[in-house]
Amino acid sequence: MKIYADNAATTKLSRVSKEAMLPYFDTIYGNPSSLYSAGQEAAEAINRARQIIAKKLNCEPREIYFTSGGSEADNQAIISAAQIGARQNKRHIVSTAFEHHAVLHILEKLKKQGYEITLLDVHENGIVMPDEVAAAIRDDTCLVTVMYANNEIGTIQPIAEIGAICGAKGVLFHTDAVQAAGHVYIDVKAQHIDMLSLSAHKFHGPKGAGVLYAKKGIFLTNIIEGGAQERGKRGGTENVPAIMGMAAAFEEACAKIDGNTQKLTALRDKITEGLLKIPHSVLNGDSARRLPGNVNVCFEGIEGESLLLYLDAQGIMASSGSACTSGSLDPSHVLLAIGRPHEIAHGSLRLSLSEENTHEEAEYITEKVAEVVEHLRSMSPVWRDLKEGKKSYVIQ
């Protein structure tokens, strides 16, 4: 059995998305900036894509800027807000301790440039409190950036409440919706979102395509200077096939939200229930206010990396947290942010499901994880110390 359960890292391109891309590789391959009809055909295609995405986010097509992915969109949103702030002498930004590194690293860079960054604590349930956001906003705050759903533990933030607070205080609000887009309903107007980032390959679209939504009136700073593409805000020939694939995938994903929520929530809860039967295990993040397909559990006394390699040998593809930092030996900053101590943050497992996963697979996963955890514990000196009472369990 081969089970792909790492859809938060990336997804398989859907048939619909692939078919939307194919004609633009070698049939309608003109440059959208070209004047002749074959170029204009490509330009009209990306306009249609812009309309599709705008409609699903409830914004206007001209508020959609195509980027090479979620990281680029996050960078451009935050740099733009920082520059707008600087022109008004406002150099304070509010964010959270468990954002994606695309957000945290650009905030660190801004800090070196003289900006003041407040990173809010995240509670054990992995939810940011709107009143704490409100309390952190100052007269010189130029931006609040809070992710829509966390990429490791899947917890969904009270975006509409945070948006309303920012709106009332006149502060720009950006949300990294890379994990949420195509999985939960987003309405930038109703949720008072000024800027939003999404990435196609997280909802069965292609890699290399993303969107920055920026409400009209927000003056964007280019991070890629060049031609007049994207209303002068992003140089470089438009990636027409990827844009078409992204729009098709987003439309398809949004149409499936109700069905997938029902299906994945059932699978998620079944796996979670199974895994929590393993002694000294704990769910990371709120059990209900999380993405339908996200399971994230810590097991005491084992290393997440070993767990992944043993599961891979059993045909299960999962992760310990974010794929983007898998080369690092540091424990997950997300798990530390929700208060997990180092020794158990190392023993995490993230399973992120798609509609292709089945109940049979859920049972197989639960069974195999239990076996592997038991095996790893049997070899673990830490576990022996815990069992012999030389150390105390962190997870009861």
Residue 59 or 247 having the CB closest to its own copies: 247
Residue 271 or 386 having the CB closest to its own copies: 271
Sheet strand arrangement including 210-214: 64-67, 210-214, 195-199, 172-176, 141-145, 92-96, 116-120
Any contact of residue 6 with its own copies (CB under 8 A)? yes
Residue 8 or 59 having the CB closest to its own copies: 8
Q: How far is the CB of 388 from its own copies (least distance, A)?
A: 31
Residue 71 or 150 having the CB closest to its own copies: 71
Identify which range of 34-42, 164-172, 278-286, 373-381 contacts its own copies by CB under 8 A. Answer: 34-42
Residues linked to residue 65 through DSSP beta bridges, in sequence order: 212
Residues linked to residue 319 through DSSP beta bridges, in sequence order: 350
Helices (H), the chain: 15-21, 23-26, 37-57, 70-87, 101-112, 130-136, 159-169, 229-232, 240-255, 257-276, 304-313, 333-337, 342-345, 359-379, 381-387
Any contact of residue 255 with its own copies (CB under 8 A)? no
Any contact of residue 100 with its own copies (CB under 8 A)? yes
Residue 72 or 252 having the CB closest to its own copies: 72
The two counts, helices (H) then strands (E), for the chain are 15, 12
- Nearest one of 270, 355, 362 to 316, comparing CA atoms: 362
Count of residues interacting with its own copies (CB under 8 A):
71
When binding is defined by CB under 8 A, the residue of 29, 257, 261, 370 that contacts its own copies is: 29
d(CA 361, CA 363): 5
Any contact of residue 35 with its own copies (CB under 8 A)? yes
At 203, list the tokens. 């909802």
Identify which range of 46-54, 97-105, 336-344, 371-379 contacts its own copies by CB under 8 A. Answer: 97-105
Q: What single-letter amino acid sits at 169?
A: K
Any contact of residue 199 with its own copies (CB under 8 A)? yes
Does residue 118 sit in helix, strand or coil?
Answer: strand
DSSP 62: G
Sheet strand arrangement including 348-352: 281-283, 294-299, 348-352
Q: What is the footprint of its own copies within residues 202-241 (CB under 8 A)?
A: 206-209, 222-229, 235-241
When binding is defined by CB under 8 A, the residue of 105, 289, 384, 391 that contacts its own copies is: 105
Any contact of residue 340 with its own copies (CB under 8 A)? no
Any contact of residue 158 with its own copies (CB under 8 A)? no
Q: Are the C-beta atoms of residues 183 and 217 closer than 8 Å to each other?
A: no
When binding is defined by CB under 8 A, the residue of 16, 33, 257, 343 that contacts its own copies is: 33
Contact string (CB under 8 A) for its own copies, positions 311-330, x = contact: xx----xxx--xxxxxxx--
Q: Please state the separation of Cα 217 from the chain's center in Å.
A: 26
Residue 235 or 279 having the CB closest to its own copies: 235
Identify which range of 53-61, 105-113, 260-268, 353-361 contacts its own copies by CB under 8 A. Answer: 105-113
Residue 167 or 236 having the CB closest to its own copies: 236
Any contact of residue 109 with its own copies (CB under 8 A)? yes
Any contact of residue 23 with its own copies (CB under 8 A)? no
Measured from the Cβ of residue 200, the count of other Cβ atoms closer than 10 Å reads 32
Residue with tokens 């081969």: 2
List active site positions: 324
Q: What is the footprint of its own copies within residues 361-390 (CB under 8 A)?
A: none
Any contact of residue 34 with its own copies (CB under 8 A)? yes
- Nearest one of 357, 285, 277 to 318, comparing CA atoms: 357
Q: How far is the CB of 244 from its own copies (least distance, A)?
A: 11
Q: How far is the CB of 242 from its own copies (least distance, A)?
A: 5
Does residue 80 sit in helix, strand or coil?
Answer: helix
Residue 181 or 386 having the CB closest to its own copies: 181
β-strands 210-214, 64-67: how paired?
A: antiparallel
Q: What is the footprint of its own copies within residues 44-73 (CB under 8 A)?
A: 68-72
Integer Rg of the chain from CA = 22
Any contact of residue 101 with its own copies (CB under 8 A)? yes
d(CA 284, CA 382): 21
d(CA 213, CA 110): 21
Residue with tokens 């008004």: 88
